[in-house]
């Protein structure tokens, strides 16, 4: 069943044109000047809130202001701290960072009570509150669906905003990409616009309003906060990123993808990481086993041995749910889901923990080891609930939520999980989150403190992840929340979604759609790969992958598995540079269409075309127009399946190239190379 997960409406009404800040589209952007002019003394900053019912424009004008240059943490960076203090206890801080190489500015808003009494309520917090002034033009919004466990997950959409139209977006249930997606592109002239990203791993909201034919208002911030601060209390809210672009809209998308890799992704020894090519542990044992509730030390090592024997070389091995105590008590009705909170390797199945497995993987397979956890959801009666009932928020039914907003709970969780990783030789940490927390947070708010449970919780989540990443400098975090429901600007700094959706496992058409939609925004994400025929395996191409082959049963050959891995290794680097959609925007979920996209690497002027003719498609030919090429250059197109090659001018390829596949349910992989 498909659930429509985000609030999305378009309406016309009279709206006040008063905004907190104004940005002129079309002017040459100088990052440092932009920061000092929008956050300087006497300037109306590009954020807003209400304080004791009064708009921030009135509050901030009476505050003592300072703008302090902060030390840079990397090249091409400018950092400032804008501070506003009312002298009565309220202090507002906005940390602003700009990157001169990408024309990008981000900021995060914080509030602090420096007084001895509780502050009046802070509400309607909009980290971004800006009017964009643009040439006479009907703005276009390019956005994506969030995760709904459907074929249409992350589907790309376009919406024009006529005068007076308002578009509101927000996720469902408290997970940041559950049904809505906090990344979008605003085109505000024929060749200019701004990419927008929102960083809040809870309930954000965004509203876009076309005020007239030359003004577009953006608001983005927290949905629920309406709370006073206790003496000494300090909170953060959402972050917002703006990347200004010139050219066609895909210039904006590709610059944003490159910006994420260069300045806003996990780095190890100063370099952006490549997430692994994973191998699994024969997922799908017979009932009553589920997930990995029947996994043992001996079986895990045997599967690694078999992988090695077949000449397969995954970069990491992935152990998912069901390895912990009580999960294998099938006679008692226990399974992976209803035993979370017992975070110790099952002593009967893993008498020495995971160290024998991780040691074997490290020494014999020259690979890494990743293990699944779901520490925030705690099941009734589990060890953690018995140990620390005071930290549990009732979630309805038998689930509990470990309150990361309690500092003691957050510190305990950080050390506990950190120790588990260290003691068991775990290299990469996979965190799932199979619960919608919004109603739980709200039901635990106290009088005059609406939204504060969520704010403190999300701050604790960031502290927890930052602790792990600091303690383990080579750690990677896989961010899963019922499959891709916690993707936002803040989580992408610390993690990447290696299982981007819980849509029907291994269904290739859905996987094609998910790749196509996510590539507009994110260069790092992955899904599973279950079969080795080209239509299936190419549907899972990406910057990372999880090979879920069954190595203990007949079916597909290990020589085909090796070929599939080699093809993945060949194409993977191209997902880290430029992406161009070749099938437009709209409903791309049907079985009766073609879907195609282009990967292009300007650094050496090579790339790939990946194309699919689906099972019910009656058309053997499909015309595409390539992008990013030099019209006056000559390019070789090499068909990886047929071994055939042809040369074309860049102009011809940009005007139209006919793809052909005689049979339905088939695929093309074409290599592009500039020859002169």
Beta strands in 188-319 (DSSP E): 192-199, 204-212, 215-222, 226-227, 234-246, 267-268, 271-272, 277-279, 316-319
Residues 560, 563, 565, 571, Cα dihedral to 10°: -140
Q: What is the pLDDT of residue 370?
A: 98
Is the confidence at residue 20, as pLDDT, over 80? no
Residue written as token pair 């849509």:
503
Give the pTM: 0.95
CA–CA gap between residue 334 and residue 293 (Å, rounded): 9
Residue 653 within any structural domain of the chain = yes
Stretch (H or E) spanning 99: strand 90-99
Per the DSSP assignment, residues forming a β-bridge with 77 are: 99
Cα dist from 676 to 3, 325, 526, 606, 647, whole Å = 51, 62, 35, 12, 10
Q: Please say whether the beta carbons of 450 and 442 come within 8 A.
A: yes
**423-466 pLDDT tens trace:** 999 999 999 999 999 999 999 999 999 999 999 999 999 999 99
Cα dist from 216 to 140, 161, 212, 397, 511, whole Å = 10, 9, 7, 45, 35
**624-649 pLDDT tens trace:** 999 999 999 999 999 999 999 999 99
Residue written as token pair 């010139």:
246
Backbone angles phi, psi at 150, to 5 degrees: -135, 170
**CATH number of the domain enclosing 622:** 2.60.40.1180
Cis upstream peptide for 288 (omega within 30°)? yes
Residue 643 within any structural domain of the chain = yes
Q: What is the pLDDT of residue 450?
A: 98
CA–CA gap between residue 57 and residue 154 (Å, rounded): 37
Burial 590-601 (b: 16+ CB within 10 A, else e): eeebbbbbbbbb
**Among 373, 379, 431, which Cα is nearest to 400's?**
379
Residue 600 within any structural domain of the chain = yes
Sign of CA dihedral 332, 333, 336, 337: negative
CA–CA gap between residue 5 and residue 179 (Å, rounded): 4
**200-211 pLDDT tens trace:** 999 999 999 999
Q: What is the pLDDT of residue 17?
A: 37
Residue 669 within any structural domain of the chain = yes
CA–CA gap between residue 381 and residue 378 (Å, rounded): 9
The structure tokens listed for 430 are: 């996979």
For residue 51, the SS3 value is strand
**Among 292, 322, 2, which Cα is nearest to 145's?**
2
Is the confidence at residue 9, as pLDDT, over 50? no
**147-160 pLDDT tens trace:** 999 999 999 999 99
DSSP 543: S
Per the DSSP assignment, residues forming a β-bridge with 216 are: 132, 210
Sign of CA dihedral 25, 30, 36, 37: negative
Residue 523 within any structural domain of the chain = no
Alpha helices in 29-173, H assignment, sequence order: 31-39, 56-60
- The fraction of the chain above a pLDDT of 90, given in percent, is 94
**290-311 pLDDT tens trace:** 999 999 999 999 999 999 999 9
Q: Please say whether the beta carbons of 222 and 200 come within 8 A.
A: yes
**367-419 pLDDT tens trace:** 999 999 999 999 999 999 999 999 999 878 999 999 999 999 999 999 999 99
Alpha helices in 62-131, H assignment, sequence order: none
Is the confidence at residue 614, as pLDDT, over 80? yes
Q: What is the tally of structural domains in the chain? A: 1
Residue 121 within any structural domain of the chain = no
Is the confidence at residue 2, as pLDDT, over 60? no
Query: Residue range 92-102: average pLDDT?
Result: 98
Residue 569 within any structural domain of the chain = no
Domain, as residue range, for 606: 578-674
Percentage helix, strand, coil, to 5, in the chain? 25, 35, 45
Residue 631 within any structural domain of the chain = yes
């Amino acid at each position: 069943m498909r659930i429509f997960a985000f609030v999305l409406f378009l309406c016309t009404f009279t709206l006040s044109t008063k905004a907190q800040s104004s940005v002129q589209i079309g002017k040459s952007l100088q990052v440092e000047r932009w920061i000092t002019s929008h956050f300087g003394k006497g300037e109306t900053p590009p954020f807003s809130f209400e304080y004791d019912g009064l708009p921030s424009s009135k509050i901030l004008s009476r505050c003592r202001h300072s703008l302090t240059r902060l030390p840079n943490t990397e090249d091409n960076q400018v950092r400032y701290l804008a501070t506003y203090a009312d002298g009565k206890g309220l202090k507002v801080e906005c940390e602003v960072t700009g990157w001169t190489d990408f024309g990008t500015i981000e900021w995060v808003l914080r509030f602090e009570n420096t007084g001895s009494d509780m502050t009046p309520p802070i509400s309607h917090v909009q980290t971004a509150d800006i009017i964009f002034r643009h040439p006479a033009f009907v703005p276009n919004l390019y956005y994506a669906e969030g995760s709904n466990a459907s074929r249409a997950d992350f589907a790309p959409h376009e919406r024009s905003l006529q005068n007076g139209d308002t578009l509101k977006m927000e996720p469902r249930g408290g997970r940041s990409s559950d049904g809505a997606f906090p990344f979008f592109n605003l085109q505000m002239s024929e060749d200019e616009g701004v990419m927008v990203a929102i960083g809040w791993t809870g309930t954000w909201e965004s509203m876009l309003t076309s005020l007239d034919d030359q003004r577009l208002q953006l608001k983005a911030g927290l949905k629920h906060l309406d709370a006073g601060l206790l003496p000494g209390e300090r909170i953060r809210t959402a972050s917002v990123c703006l990347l200004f672009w010139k050219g066609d809209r895909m210039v904006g998308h590709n610059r944003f993808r490159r910006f994420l890799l260069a300045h806003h992704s996990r780095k190890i020894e100063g370099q952006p990481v490549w997430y692994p090519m994973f191998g699994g542990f024969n997922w799908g044992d017979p009932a009553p086993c589920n997930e990995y509730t029947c996994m043992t030390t001996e079986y895990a090592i045997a599967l690694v041995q078999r992988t090695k024997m077949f000449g397969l070389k995954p970069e990491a091995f992935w152990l998912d749910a069901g390895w912990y105590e009580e999960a294998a008590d099938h006679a008692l009705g226990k399974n992976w889901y209803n035993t979370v909170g017992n975070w110790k390797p099952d002593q009967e199945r893993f008498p020495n923990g995971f160290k024998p497995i991780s040691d074997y993987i490290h020494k014999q397979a020259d690979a890494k080891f990743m293990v699944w956890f779901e520490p925030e959801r705690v099941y009734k009666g589990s060890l953690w609930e018995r140990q620390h009932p005071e930290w549990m928020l009732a979630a309805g039914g038998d689930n509990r939520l470990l309150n990361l907003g309690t500092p003691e709970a957050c510190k305990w969780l950080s050390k506990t999980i950190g120790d588990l990783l260290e003691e068991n030789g775990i290299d990469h940490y996979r965190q799932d989150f199979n619960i919608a927390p919004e109603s739980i947070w709200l039901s635990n708010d106290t009088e005059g403190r609406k939204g504060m449970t969520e704010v403190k919780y999300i701050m604790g989540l960031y502290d927890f992840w930052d602790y792990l990443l600091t303690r383990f400098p080579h750690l990677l975090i896989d961010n899963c929340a019922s499959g891709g429901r916690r993707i936002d600007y803040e989580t992408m700094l610390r993690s990447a979604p290696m299982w981007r959706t819980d849509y029907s496992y291994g269904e290739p058409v859905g996987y094609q759609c998910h790749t196509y939609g996510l590539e507009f925004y994110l260069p790092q994400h992955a899904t599973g790969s279950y079969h080795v025929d080209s239509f299936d395996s190419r549907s899972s191409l990406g910057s990372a992958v999880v090979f879920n082959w069954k190595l203990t049963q007949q079916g597909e050959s290990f020589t085909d598995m090796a070929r599939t891995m080699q093809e993945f290794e060949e194409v993977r680097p191209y997902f880290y540079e430029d992406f161009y959609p070749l099938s437009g925007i709209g409903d791309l979920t049907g079985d009766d269409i073609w879907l195609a996209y282009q990967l292009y690497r300007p650094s050496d002027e090579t790339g790939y075309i990946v194309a699919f003719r689906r099972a019910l498609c009656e058309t053997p030919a499909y015309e595409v127009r390539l992008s990013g090429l030099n019209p006056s250059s000559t390019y070789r197109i090499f068909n990886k399946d047929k071994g055939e090659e042809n040369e074309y001018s860049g102009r011809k390829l940009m005007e139209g190239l006919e793809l052909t596949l005689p049979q339905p349910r088939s695929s093309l992989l074409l290599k592009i190379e500039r020859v002169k």
